């Protein structure tokens, strides 16, 4: 009696599927959120500024980043 071996998917194929699923979930959460994307992005930049300030304050240099007419950190 012969048993059929299940097909084993390539690990990168499985990871790609997981990544796509997570991206769709995140898009749905952002789309359904009452908070506008621009506000979410501004909050994210503020949080990064806080982290950068904490990490560089001890040597006297404070890095700050902001939104410059819609471009995070400015262009070129």
Dihedral over alpha carbons 73, 20, 28, 74 (to 10 degrees): 10
Q: Residue 71: which H helix or E strand, with range?
A: strand 71-72
Instruction: Answer yes or no: is 22 within a domain.
Output: yes
CB–CB of 40/30 below 8 Å? yes
pLDDT, tens digit, 9 for 90 and up, residues 64-75: 666 665 555 555
pTM assigned to the model: 0.38
| Helices marked H in the chain | 11-32, 37-56
Question: What's the confidence (pLDDT) of residue 12?
Answer: 95
The range of the structural domain enclosing residue 26 comes to: 11-72
Q: Is the pLDDT at 51 greater than 70, yes or no?
A: yes
Tally of domains in the chain:
1
Q: Tell me: the pLDDT tens digits for 13-42? A: 999 999 999 999 988 887 888 878 788 889
Would you say residue 6 lies in a domain? no
Quick check: is 1 in a domain?
no
The whole-number pLDDT of residue 16 equals 95
Within a domain: 17: yes
Task: Check residue 30 and give its pLDDT.
Answer: 78
In the numeric block, the tokens 């194929």 are attached to 13
Between CA 21 and CA 73 the distance in angstroms is: 30
Provide the pLDDT for residue 14: 94
């Amino acid at each position: 009696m012969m048993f059929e071996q299940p097909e084993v998917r390539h690990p990168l194929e499985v990871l790609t599927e997981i990544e796509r699923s997570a991206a769709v979930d995140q898009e749905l959460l952002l789309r359904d959120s009452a908070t506008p994307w621009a506000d979410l992005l501004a909050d994210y930049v503020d949080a990064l500024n806080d982290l950068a300030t904490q990490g560089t304050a001890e040597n006297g240099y404070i890095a700050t980043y902001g939104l410059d007419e819609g471009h995070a950190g400015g262009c070129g």
